[in-house]
Amino acid sequence: MLLIKNGKIYTMADQIMEGADILVKDGKIQKIEKNIQTCEDVQVIDASGKYVFPGFIDAHTHMGLWEDGMGFEGADGNEETDPITPHMRAIDGINPMDRTFSEALQGGITCVGTGPGSANVMGGQYIAIKTHGDRIDEMVIKDPVGFKIAFGENPKSVYGRDDRTPQTRMAIAALLRETLRKADDYMEEMKEYMEDEEAEKPEFDIKLESMMPLMEKKVPLKAHAHRTDDIFTAIRIAKEFGLKLTLDHCTEGHLIADHLSKEGYPALVGPSLGERSKIELKNLDFKTAGVLSQAGVKVSIITDHPVVPIQYLPLCTALAVKAGMDKYKALKAITINPAEVLGVSDRVGSLEEGKDADIVIWDGFPLEIQSRPVCTIVDGKVVYSE
């Protein structure tokens, strides 16, 4: 058992508690209140004068798929041989021994969504994992959590340079529609086979088979889209097929905030800390997250690690606040919002009884640049401490 005493607790379930305690048992939060007393043998951590938060969450990274300090040897995030690869699974490419997992824990980030990059129209399956562990199978919270799709410059540049399709935004949309229609038909044929003894079983197709969680609306399309036109194309196609959708990057989202507010899809905003390295980033601005949040869009802030190293997620969030985002909404953008977007809020994203004991104790308010985690706890175990 573990008892955290006398901290200023931000539960991120709309409660801030001064001088309160958290009791942890069997990896779960058992109790949150003031002056917890226990007769059992318990490890006590004094959090007096410190801030206690749920572990931060980044809903869009490539953790473990592009390994730190390597070239092609550790680059496992883009299968650039086919623009349609929905059957690629992040779990098969992640190396949890990569040093950036330790840096995540030192930065207070205990959970990430990670998966394929944006070279392909359909890149594969995203996964939600803890950032502590040495075997990926034991770090999984949920698999899959979404199917990566990409619009704009990235797939155009990868395949256009070799005179292959897609070379245009029209072709990207057409390939995506074709694949979704095939998957829809495959699902109907499989359903008919399961319900009718005389029906013929569809020929196995690993790509279409892998897409069943998507077509059954259990997980969303995870759309890489920077420009307004690409954002609207992602929405158009999701509506055509009645699918869930997240708008990842959403770089020009602040230009169309009124439209996005009406549409109701979550926005995963970032990486905002970096250069405008391509044309579709010309309107990159830290104000995007705040503008969208103010308009009523559910916002998560992302690093797109390794584009921005994962440990700088709090810094990116602080810069969004500096650019006008409400401070508490910004905290939600790296805690409960990404947990909900990834479909794992029953376990992580807030400090509540029964949830995983993923807890970070900070020596100061985490959105102040000089503040740092002094203790990171995952599943009730101290995995980093100063």
For 8-30, what is each residue's pLDDT tens digit? Answer: 999 999 999 999 999 999 999 99
β-bridge partners, 222: 148, 246
**Residue 257 clears pLDDT 80, i.e. is over it:** yes
Only one residue has tokens 């207070």, namely 108
Residue 199 confidence (pLDDT) = 87
Residue 312 has a pLDDT of 98
The per-residue pLDDT for 38 is 83
The whole-number pLDDT of residue 5 equals 97
Average model confidence (pLDDT) across the chain:
97
**Chain segment 291-325, per-residue pLDDT in tens:** 999 999 999 999 999 999 999 999 999 999 999 99
Alpha-carbon distance 245 to 261, whole Å? 14
The Cα–Cα gap between 181 and 292 comes to 32
What are the angstrom distances between the C-alpha of 38 and each of 4, 29, 328, 378?
A: 12, 14, 33, 22
d(CA 307, CA 285): 16
Q: CA-to-CA distance for 190 and 194, rounded, in angstroms?
A: 6
Nearest-CA neighbor of 33 among 357, 353, 359?
A: 353
| Per-residue buried b or exposed e for 334-363, using 16+ beta carbons within 10 Å of the residue's own CB | bbbbbbbbbbbbebbbbbbeebbbbbbbbb
- 98-102, 160-164, 174-178: the lowest-pLDDT one: 160-164
Say what percent of the chain tops pLDDT 70.
100
Mean pLDDT, rounded, for 106-114: 98
Distance between CA atoms of residues 289 and 329, nearest Å = 10
State how far the Cα of 132 lies from the Cα of 101, in Å rounded to an integer.
7
Per-residue pLDDT, averaged over 352-359, amounts to 98
Residue-range domains of the chain with CATH: 1-54+350-385 (2.30.40.10), 56-348 (3.20.20.140)
Give which of 272, 221, 266 is closest to 243, Cα–Cα.
221
Does 4 score more than 80 pLDDT?
A: yes
pLDDT above 90 for 177? yes
φ, ψ for residue 72, nearest 5 deg: -65, -25
Would you say residue 197 has pLDDT above 90?
Answer: no
Structure tokens belonging to residue 241: 């097929």
Confidence of residue 198 (pLDDT cuts 50, 70, 90): confident
Q: Which of 301, 252, 273, 358 is nearest to 113 (CA)?
A: 301
Q: Please give the share of the chain, as a percent, with pLDDT higher than 90.
A: 96
User: Residue 40 — pLDDT band, cuts 50, 70, 90?
Assistant: confident
- Distance separating alpha carbons of residues 272 and 211, to the nearest angstrom: 31
- Is 244 in contact with 274 (CB distance < 8 Å)? no
Say which range, 52-61, 195-204, 206-215, 326-335, has the weakest mean pLDDT. Answer: 195-204
Q: HSE-up of 52 (CA within 13 Å, CB side)?
A: 29
pTM for the predicted model, two decimal places: 0.97
